[in-house]
């Protein structure tokens, strides 16, 4: 069955445009409720980020669920990983997050979690899609769902985050700048680090409904960088709007991305003898991480782009650590999904235990230069069975050898082919990427 609503990370779109309209979200709430009701559990948790449209979709979603006889427990602004955790601890049928993650405020979306705190199984998503084609009905008035608010949700999640930090360790003496992207973790993130003893400078913590991710947070780390240098802090922590992405900044003002965070965590686990298996990355993971892990004897596998696919790879292999260079870091021994706060605490634990700065911990792996060019095309299948493109890629691979790689990937949402080249020499990488992009452009003309 072809999916009409669910993508790799739930449902997302511009507010007021299909599918992110009040009418469609109402129907989605009903469809999800009807599917979940078959399982016998009639409790669903609903969280959201700080977008002004969250009020609109929260009401529509709750009404749709109620019409299917499902009770809603409202969490208010809450990070995506917090909803995943709370869904599991409350033994709810599902958790739903109203968020468009790192997108601007004028977008919004829905993310669904199962009772285990993981993404919904494919078969459940397909059942919801099929139910969307049915006429909407309402259960008997005596069976209508009710809505109630969970007042201590933030406190529960804060305590959980702190529980993932090693017993006996504290962050006393550390100055940390925390950028919450004016998003769902605007209050929670700084409280976690503060309660563990750090001196916290909080930025990106004044949401007004329209400033989420705006020139701040994990997608704009220069904002954090400037504050780390100004405050002479030990490091900076940047989350995205829904709190599942992490980008860090060391005391020198250098940005530390998801690949480097994975390296720090993998090296520490390997040195301590607690590395369970290998590391899962994506097609976009920097080749330097793969080479560094190989040098340690740690297996590495690439998944398709998207934390959903990283998680699938981890489960298939029985591994615990994976993520994306964009900052989705999954520590399956602690959480069921990407969690920026938990990942940051894991890095801080390594710093605490080794006495080394973040700058020193990431110094032994230098990321290879990477160039990404987007080529507009009418037909994204142009990269399939095209002799000119195949020859250009072959020549590029010969030129790069083992010290680089090339990737052609059609965009999942736009009429684009993405050409990515990485290698050890920046000028060579730029030149080769431009050459291949021109061949793709000519073939698409």
Catalytic center residues = 101
Write out the H or E segment, with its range, that includes residue 109: strand 107-114
Q: How far apart are CA 322 and CA 229, in angstroms?
A: 30
| Residues counted in the chain | 445
**DSSP output for 25-75:** HHHHHHHHHHHHHTTT--EEEEEE-S-TTHHHHHHHHHHHHHHTT-EEEEE
Q: How far apart are CA 259 and CA 262, in angstroms?
A: 5
CB 257, CB 358: distance < 8 Å: no
Closest CA to 240 of 117, 116, 105, 348: 105
Write out the H or E segment, with its range, that includes residue 376: strand 370-376
Q: How far apart are CA 404 and CA 112, in angstroms?
A: 37
- Residue 281, SS3 per DSSP: strand
For 398, other C-beta atoms within 10 Å of its C-beta total 8
Q: How far apart are CA 276 and CA 286, in angstroms?
A: 22
Per-residue DSSP letter, 121: P
CB 234, CB 262: distance < 8 Å: no
């Amino acid at each position: 069955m072809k999916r009409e609503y669910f993508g790799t990370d739930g449902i997302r779109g511009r507010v007021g445009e299909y599918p992110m309209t009040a009418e469609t979200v109402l129907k989605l709430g009903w469809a999800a409720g009807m599917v979940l009701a078959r399982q016998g559990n009639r409790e669903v948790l609903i969280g959201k980020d700080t977008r002004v449209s969250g009020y609109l979709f929260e009401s529509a979603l709750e009404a749709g669920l109620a019409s299917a006889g499902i009770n809603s427990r409202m969490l208010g602004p809450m990070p995506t990983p917090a909803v995943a955790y709370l869904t599991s601890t409350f033994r709810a049928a599902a958790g739903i997050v109203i968020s468009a993650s790192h997108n601007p405020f004028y977008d919004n979306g829905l993310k669904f979690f199962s009772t285990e705190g993981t993404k919904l199984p494919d078969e459940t998503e397909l059942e919801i899609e099929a139910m969307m084609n049915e006429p909407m009905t309402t259960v008997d008035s005596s069976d209508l769902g009710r809505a109630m608010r969970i007042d201590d949700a933030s406190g529960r999640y804060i305590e959980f985050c702190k529980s993932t930090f090693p017993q006996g360790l504290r962050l006393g003496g550390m100055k940390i700048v925390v950028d919450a992207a004016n998003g769902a973790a605007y209050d929670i993130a700084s409280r976690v680090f503060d309660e563990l003893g750090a001196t916290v400078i909080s930025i990106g913590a004044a949401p007004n409904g329209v400033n989420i991710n705006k020139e701040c947070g994990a997608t704009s780390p220069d904002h954090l960088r400037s504050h780390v240098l100004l405050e002479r802090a030990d490091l900076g922590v940047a989350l995205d709007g829904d709190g599942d992405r992490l980008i860090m900044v060391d005391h020198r003002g250098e940005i530390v991305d998801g690949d480097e965070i994975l390296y720090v965590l993998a090296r520490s686990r390997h040195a301590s003898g607690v590395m369970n298996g290998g590391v899962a990355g994506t097609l976009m993971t920097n080749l330097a991480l793969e080479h560094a892990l190989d040098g340690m004897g740690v297996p590495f596998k690439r998944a398709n782009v998207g934390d959903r696919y990283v998680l699938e790879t981890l489960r298939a292999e029985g591994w615990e650590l994976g993520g994306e260079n964009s900052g989705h870091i999954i520590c399956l021994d602690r959480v069921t999904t990407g969690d920026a706060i938990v990942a940051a605490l894991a890095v801080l634990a390594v710093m605490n235990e080794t006495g080394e700065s973040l700058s020193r911990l990431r110094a032994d792996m230098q990321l290879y230069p990477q160039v990404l060019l987007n080529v507009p095309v009418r037909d994204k299948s142009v990269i399939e069975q095209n002799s000119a493109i195949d020859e250009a890629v072959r020549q590029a691979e010969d030129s790069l050898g083992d010290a680089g790689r090339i990737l052609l990937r059609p965009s999942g949402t736009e009429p684009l082919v993405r050409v990515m080249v990485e290698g050890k020499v920046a000028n060579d990488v730029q030149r080769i990427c431009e050459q291949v992009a021109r061949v793709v452009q000519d073939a698409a003309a």
